Structure 1
Amino acid sequence: MERTVTVEREGLEAAPAAQGAEAFRLNGDPAALAEQLSELGPVRLRVHSAHASQAVTQEITASGWAGNALWLGGRESGLWLYPAQWSFAFAVGQGEPEARQEGLRFVDRDGEVGLTAELTSASDRDAYARILRAHQQPAMRRPIIPGRPALPAFPGTARYAVDPSLIRELLETLADAAIPVRLELGNKGALQTYTGHIDNPVATADGLRVRGAGLGLDLAFAAVASAWVVDIPVPDGRAHTVDLLDDAGERILRLAGRRVPGCPEERAWRTLVQALAACRLAS
């Protein structure tokens, strides 16, 4: 493997890794590399965006292609990947053999790291070594059409602007009442979902930190310019989400209730979000 990067920041989740670590660019198709993540056992998948970072520790138990998108799923969390947006991937490692941190980074066409896959203590490091060896040689890229699939439009959708300062109270209520929530965070090359219970948010110098079982979410709350309750018609009734947007109107984070296909969303989530919508801002 050809050495390409000397890491300067701390931690594999920083770009690209800690001082003294090494990163190696991998050959071949980043999509094929992503398909092999299921061979590693439990890994920590981190999606980066301009204003937030979300990491979920999961074992990938299902995968498949839907057009140009690759789905990697776990128990209640999952990841949609859009390989047409990726340029290449590289491997990062740091530390002594007995406490070595290792992982993969996927870089988009703008040179930004959009996805990191970090090994955990339970990961299969032999499988990781085999994957790295396989991607030292050039390989054919999967034929894909550039672009990300358009999201379907839902006639009858209603949107209500609410005060962004209420979002922390919403997160605290979800934690205190043990109401499960679905979190969606993405960038141009990936969309990650987490469903489960969360702990109370903790204020940081840059915003809010939210933790849960296998979850690590860091949100630059100062970048949230607006918050919206979205009421969407679905075949089994209506579904409600809370979208946090930046000043350019781009979505930073979406919160939704846990839903089982064919069943209505959970009543506790619906009641909570309808109370939030009742505090809508004047248009």
Structure 2
Amino acid sequence: MSVTDLPTSVATLAERWAQFKLDNPKSRIRDAARHLETSEAELLATQCSGQPNAAVVRLTADFAALLGQIPTLGRVMALTRNDSVVHERKGTYEKVSVKGPMGLVLGEDIDLRLFITHWHFGFAVNENERRSLQFFAQDGEAVHKIYLTEDSNAGAYEELVSRFRAADQSPALATLPTPTGAADTPDADIDVTGFRDAWRALTDTHDFFGLLRTYGVSRTQALRLGPPELVQRLDNRAIVRGLEAAATSGLSIMLFVASRGCIQIHTGPVQHLVMAGPWYNVLDPDFNLHLKLGDVAETWLVKKPTTEGLVHSMELYDAQGRNLLLFFGKRKPGIPEQDAWRELVTSL
């Protein structure tokens, strides 16, 4: 009998998930949640028993204090993803800070921007001795995960789990529906001339998001309506050519991938590029990227003025206008963009 044939009275969520794993042993929990019409967090919660040997332990929502203890774990693997891209980076959490709704991790290897208002649930997970800390939004979708590696401090992990263990270890989890984004303002209602002039007058790339809010435009709408000399539509294989060119040249690049609650950044070279099924992959010792190429609906070359000259990036979006990935050359604030990166990206 398949999972869907089980009577409702028997097919509890835990049982249905167990059956799904038997039927699909290579499937990920994200796929199981979608198939079972639930969320990752709700699936994990079914494994909370409150017993010392429980595979999943619910954590308190004191995320600022918890994040402050992550450096004690030593070398770990940070994972942030959306539906189409998975970003995995090994390293140590350094220079961790949380101020109100915003958090930062500014290590040489682990580089994160955290949006704590979207962090609602946390779990410690032991999956066949692969231990991790996993964090989820109010709808149960993952925002960030931290996996121990063979070099991690396992004792510090156990101390952290004990310290932040929630009193409530119920297997039931109350989630809220996924928030729906606001509809785009009609193009006819946008001050396109003012928007273009303000874009041309930018002096810092970080001001671009404020510009979007000021003129009430979405990201993809901004690219359609932006100054023609500063935006250019590319074909959707440009990301493959760009990564291959970076690998060949050894150029250090920056790859940004975001969930609702985290932006994770890789800075450095890429080397080992592999196509496997629908996924295009970077498979380096300390950095893995998995991109489902078929989900890329729009690719843009974007130029933003700064006090140090133009900054060029490649931006990927899905059919719903959601950003999948940002691709930059390595740079630091106050330092002009590398000529080698500019030549690479404009050649695409």
TM range (shorter): 0.7 to 0.9
Q: Contact (CA 8 Å) 1:246, 1:252: kept in 2 or not?
A: yes
Which secondary structure does the structure 1 equivalent of 2:120 belong to? strand
* Count of residues in correspondence between the two structures: 259
What is the aligned partner in structure 2 of residue 54 from structure 1?
A: 87
1:125 aligns with 2:154: yes
Q: Is the 8 A contact 1:49 1:186 kept in 2?
A: yes
Indicate whether 1:73 and 2:125 are aligned: no
Structure with greater proportional helix content:
2
5 Å-filtered alignment, 1:81-100, equals 81-95=114-128, 100=129
**Which blocks of at least 5 consecutive residues in structure 2 are unaligned?**
1-12, 31-39, 48-53, 169-205, 213-225
Contact 1:240 1:270 in 2 (8 A): yes
**CA–CA distance in structure 2, aligned partners of residues 215 and 11 of structure 1:** 22
- What is the alpha-carbon distance in structure 2 between the residues aligned to residue 245 and residue 217 of structure 1? 16
1:231 offset after TM fit, Å? 0.4
What SS is found at the alignment partner of 1:151? helix
Counterpart for residue 142 of structure 1: none
1:264 paired to 2:336: yes
For the Cα contact (< 8 Å) 2:254–2:268, is it kept in 1?
yes
Distance 1:126 1:215 in 2: 25
How much has 1:137 moved relative to structure 2?
A: 4.4
Deviation track 1:17-44 (CA, whole Å, cap 9, x = no partner) reads: 99x9922211242333223212211110
**Deviates most, 158-167 or 186-195:** 158-167
Using the size of structure 2 for normalisation, the TM-score is 0.68
Distance across 2 between alignment mates of 1:76 and 1:55: 11
Q: 1:170-212: CA deviations, max 9, x gaps?
A: 1111101111110000011110001011124211112201123
Looking at structure 2, the residues matched to 270 and 249 of structure 1 have their Cα atoms a distance apart, in angstroms, of: 26
Matched, 1:188 2:217: no
Of 272, 281, 286, the residue aligned with 1:209 is 281
Would the alpha carbon gap of residues 13 and 62 (structure 1) be closer, same or farther in structure 2, given more than 3 Å must change?
farther
SS in 2 for 1:70: strand
Q: 1:92 to 1:163 in 2, by over 3 A?
A: same
* C-alpha contact 2:274 2:280 (8 A) present in aligned 1: yes
Structure (1 or 2) with the larger CA radius of gyration: 2
Q: 1:171 to 1:225 in 2, by over 3 A?
A: same
Note if contact 2:93-2:110 (Cα within 8 Å) is conserved in structure 1.
no
Gaps of 5+ in 1: 140-148, 277-283
Residue 224 of structure 1 aligns with which residue? 296
Per the TM alignment, residue 93 of structure 1 is displaced from its structure 2 partner at its CA by 0.8
TM-score by length of 1: 0.82
Query: When you count strand as a share of all residues, which structure comes out higher?
Result: 1
Could you tell me which amino acid in structure 2 is paired with residue 68 of structure 1? P
- Paired AA for residue 92 in structure 1: V
Q: In structure 2, what is the equivalent of residue 233 of structure 1?
A: 305
Q: Secondary structure at the match of 1:120?
A: strand
**Aligned residues of 1:90 and 1:105 also touching (Cα < 8 A):** yes
Cα deviation code 1:230-250 (max 9, x no counterpart)? 101112111111001101111
